[in-house]
Amino acid sequence: MGQAIARYQMIEDGDRIVVGLSGGKDSLTLLWLLNERLARVPIDYSLFPVYVDPGFKPGFADELRIYLKTGGHDLIVDHTDFGLVAHSGINRENPCFLCSRRRRQHLFEIADELGCRKVALGHNQDDLIETLFINICYAGEMSTMMPRQSFFKGTMTIIRPLAHAAENDIKRSAEKNKFPVFVNSCPSANRSKRHEIKTLLNTLYRKNRKIRGNIFRAMHHVNPEYLPRPQISSDRKGKK
């Protein structure tokens, strides 16, 4: 995580950072690591854990709040119906996309109210790789999540400090720290496009352990000269 923070210049002295929690191992690990490194780095920053409840039943907001309280964190919980609406008849498209987009927008609003200009999310290296393949296969474009991404003309920034961390390493760390397991009640948890892509990639990883690292490095070494793109005629260039 330290390598990712330094590489993408994610955190500066005096930052006020909202940490978006989902109750999963990734976001719990993120909060724990960000808090733990405060004692080791020469800069100071403040953490504000926030859980945007998507509205599925049974929920675990109260259990999550109690757990974080034992670690000295005051969890901010905001109850919504974002997940329910995303899975209703109103939405005919990808429910995961709509739900995650609305929760992210809400995190921005809460961050603004708290005077925070950065939002830390627990996406890991595998999430970035899976998003690349999801966008290639289902959106017809080559793009993925950015480790650091600015919004609203630079007034708000999303950071993903676990961008260099593999999911399996995070899982082992969570087990070592005995993080609790909160059950995800989302009906799309195991039947989303991400789940399909994850299954495909895990098949490749089992055949060759170097594939995950090679895909991640490839995202940083794009050669546009060897990618097809439309040719612009000299006449069209002149008109511009």
pTM for the model stands at 0.90
Domain ranges of the chain: 2-222
Is 2-222 a domain of CATH 3.50.50.60?
Answer: no
> Which amino acid, 50?
V
Please write the tens of the pLDDT for every residue from 92-148: 677 888 888 899 999 999 999 999 999 999 999 999 999 999 999 989 999 999 999
d(C-alpha 28, C-alpha 33), whole Å: 9
How much is the pLDDT for 230?
A: 77
Return the structure tokens found at 106. 């809400």
How much is the pLDDT for 120?
A: 98
Beta-ladder partners of 151: 156
- Alpha carbon of residue 36 to chain centroid: 20
Please write the tens of the pLDDT for every residue from 191-222: 678 889 999 999 999 999 999 999 999 999 99
Q: How many residues does the chain have?
A: 240
